[in-house]
Structure 1
Protein backbone atom coordinates (compact mmCIF):
# COMPACT_ATOMS: atom_id res chain seq x y z
CA UNK A 1 0.00 0.00 0.00
CA UNK A 2 1.71 3.15 -1.16
CA UNK A 3 1.30 6.69 0.01
CA UNK A 4 0.07 9.45 -2.29
CA UNK A 5 2.85 11.46 -3.88
CA UNK A 6 2.43 14.66 -1.90
CA UNK A 7 2.37 12.90 1.48
CA UNK A 8 5.40 10.80 0.50
CA UNK A 9 7.36 13.90 -0.53
CA UNK A 10 6.32 15.69 2.67
CA UNK A 11 7.56 12.79 4.81
CA UNK A 12 10.81 12.53 2.85
CA UNK A 13 11.46 16.24 3.31
CA UNK A 14 10.97 16.16 7.08
CA UNK A 15 12.92 12.93 7.52
CA UNK A 16 15.79 14.43 5.54
CA UNK A 17 15.61 17.56 7.66
CA UNK A 18 15.69 15.40 10.80
CA UNK A 19 18.73 13.55 9.46
CA UNK A 20 20.61 16.75 8.69
CA UNK A 21 19.79 18.38 12.03
CA UNK A 22 20.53 15.18 13.94
CA UNK A 23 23.87 14.77 12.19
CA UNK A 24 24.79 18.35 12.97
CA UNK A 25 23.76 17.76 16.57
CA UNK A 26 26.03 14.71 16.82
CA UNK A 27 29.00 16.69 15.55
CA UNK A 28 28.44 20.11 17.11
CA UNK A 29 26.96 19.44 20.57
CA UNK A 30 29.56 19.35 23.32
CA UNK A 31 27.47 17.46 25.88
CA UNK A 32 27.81 13.72 25.13
CA UNK A 33 24.28 12.98 26.37
CA UNK A 34 22.73 15.44 23.90
CA UNK A 35 24.99 14.09 21.18
CA UNK A 36 23.76 10.55 21.92
CA UNK A 37 20.13 11.74 21.70
CA UNK A 38 20.93 13.29 18.32
CA UNK A 39 22.45 10.00 17.19
CA UNK A 40 19.25 8.24 18.26
CA UNK A 41 17.26 10.70 16.16
CA UNK A 42 19.46 9.93 13.15
CA UNK A 43 19.03 6.18 13.57
CA UNK A 44 15.24 6.48 13.87
CA UNK A 45 15.07 8.71 10.79
CA UNK A 46 17.13 6.20 8.79
CA UNK A 47 14.78 3.44 9.91
CA UNK A 48 11.76 5.49 8.82
CA UNK A 49 13.41 6.01 5.42
CA UNK A 50 13.66 2.23 5.10
CA UNK A 51 9.98 1.87 6.03
CA UNK A 52 9.02 4.40 3.34
CA UNK A 53 10.94 2.36 0.77
CA UNK A 54 9.09 -0.84 1.88
CA UNK A 55 12.18 -2.46 3.42
CA UNK A 56 10.57 -3.36 6.72
CA UNK A 57 13.10 -6.02 7.76
CA UNK A 58 16.03 -3.65 7.24
CA UNK A 59 14.16 -0.98 9.23
CA UNK A 60 13.66 -3.40 12.13
CA UNK A 61 17.32 -4.39 12.00
CA UNK A 62 18.30 -0.71 12.01
CA UNK A 63 16.20 -0.09 15.12
CA UNK A 64 17.80 -3.05 16.90
CA UNK A 65 21.20 -1.45 16.43
Structure 2
Protein backbone atom coordinates (compact mmCIF):
# COMPACT_ATOMS: atom_id res chain seq x y z
CA UNK A 1 0.00 0.00 0.00
CA UNK A 2 1.29 3.44 -0.94
CA UNK A 3 2.04 5.79 1.96
CA UNK A 4 0.23 9.08 1.34
CA UNK A 5 1.54 10.78 4.46
CA UNK A 6 -1.54 9.95 6.52
CA UNK A 7 -1.17 8.25 9.87
CA UNK A 8 -3.05 5.10 10.73
CA UNK A 9 -5.39 7.13 12.97
CA UNK A 10 -6.16 9.60 10.17
CA UNK A 11 -7.01 6.77 7.80
CA UNK A 12 -9.32 5.16 10.39
CA UNK A 13 -11.02 8.51 11.06
CA UNK A 14 -11.49 9.13 7.32
CA UNK A 15 -13.01 5.65 6.93
CA UNK A 16 -15.43 6.30 9.81
CA UNK A 17 -16.46 9.63 8.30
CA UNK A 18 -17.02 7.94 4.93
CA UNK A 19 -19.16 5.22 6.54
CA UNK A 20 -21.22 7.85 8.37
CA UNK A 21 -21.89 9.68 5.07
CA UNK A 22 -22.92 6.40 3.45
CA UNK A 23 -25.36 5.67 6.30
CA UNK A 24 -26.86 9.17 5.94
CA UNK A 25 -27.25 8.65 2.19
CA UNK A 26 -28.98 5.29 2.73
CA UNK A 27 -31.37 6.80 5.28
CA UNK A 28 -32.19 9.61 2.85
CA UNK A 29 -32.73 7.12 0.01
CA UNK A 30 -35.04 5.05 2.21
CA UNK A 31 -37.11 8.13 3.05
CA UNK A 32 -37.30 9.44 -0.51
CA UNK A 33 -37.81 6.26 -2.54
CA UNK A 34 -41.46 5.45 -3.16
CA UNK A 35 -42.66 2.21 -1.69
CA UNK A 36 -44.89 0.79 -4.40
CA UNK A 37 -46.11 -2.00 -2.17
CA UNK A 38 -47.55 0.66 0.19
CA UNK A 39 -49.46 2.57 -2.49
CA UNK A 40 -53.22 2.22 -2.89
CA UNK A 41 -54.27 0.54 -6.17
CA UNK A 42 -55.35 3.85 -7.75
CA UNK A 43 -51.97 5.48 -7.20
CA UNK A 44 -50.10 2.38 -8.29
CA UNK A 45 -52.07 2.28 -11.56
CA UNK A 46 -51.40 5.98 -12.12
CA UNK A 47 -47.68 5.49 -11.62
CA UNK A 48 -47.67 2.93 -14.47
CA UNK A 49 -49.86 5.00 -16.81
CA UNK A 50 -47.76 5.82 -19.87
CA UNK A 51 -50.01 8.80 -20.74
CA UNK A 52 -49.78 10.44 -17.30
CA UNK A 53 -47.41 13.20 -18.45
CA UNK A 54 -49.47 14.02 -21.53
CA UNK A 55 -52.69 14.00 -19.51
CA UNK A 56 -51.16 16.24 -16.87
CA UNK A 57 -50.33 18.84 -19.54
CA UNK A 58 -53.75 18.69 -21.23
CA UNK A 59 -55.91 21.63 -20.08
CA UNK A 60 -59.29 20.91 -18.50
CA UNK A 61 -62.29 22.14 -20.42
Report the structure, 1 or 2, having the larger helix content: 1
Larger radius of gyration: 2
| Same fold, TM-score > 0.5, yes or no | no
TM-score by length of 2: 0.43
For normalisation by structure 1, the TM-score amounts to 0.40
